[in-house]
């Protein structure tokens, strides 16, 4: 299910990521949701939703990293 705004993101995402990273997460999730709609495009036994979440986290990690205090900072 695509997200319409960041307030719909999972609690763990909203709680830990800064606003800009949440935007990245939401956009990447929504794009992956569409891109991996067909089961044959996903890895074995991985749901569409799980695939979209993995893609979204990977997108965030391209622009952000955790600092020594465990907070997400822009790279």
Q: What is the pLDDT of residues 13-66, one digit of tens each?
A: 999 999 999 999 999 999 999 999 999 898 878 999 999 999 999 999 999 999
Domain ranges of the chain: 10-74
Check whether 67 has a pLDDT greater than 90: yes
In angstroms, rounded to a whole number, what is the distance separating the alpha carbons of residues 10 and 65?
19
Residue that the structure tokens 């020594």 belong to: 68
Q: What is the pLDDT of residue 20?
A: 98
Helix (H) or strand (E) holding 66: strand 64-66
Contact of 14 with 22, CB cutoff 8 Å: yes
The strand pairing partners of 66, in sequence order, are 72
Q: CA 3 → CA 15, 43, 44, distances in Å?
A: 16, 23, 25
**What does the block give as tokens for 72?**
């997400």
pLDDT number for residue 27: 98
Q: What is the CATH number of domain 10-74?
A: 1.10.1740.70
């Amino acid at each position: 299910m695509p997200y319409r705004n960041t307030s719909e993101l999972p609690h763990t995402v909203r709680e830990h990521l800064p606003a800009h990273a949440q935007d990245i997460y939401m956009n990447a999730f929504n794009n992956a949701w569409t891109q991996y709609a067909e089961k044959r495009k996903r890895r074995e036994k991985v749901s569409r939703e799980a695939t979209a979440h993995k893609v979204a986290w990977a997108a965030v990690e391209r622009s952000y990293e955790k600092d020594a205090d465990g907070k997400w900072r822009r790279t």
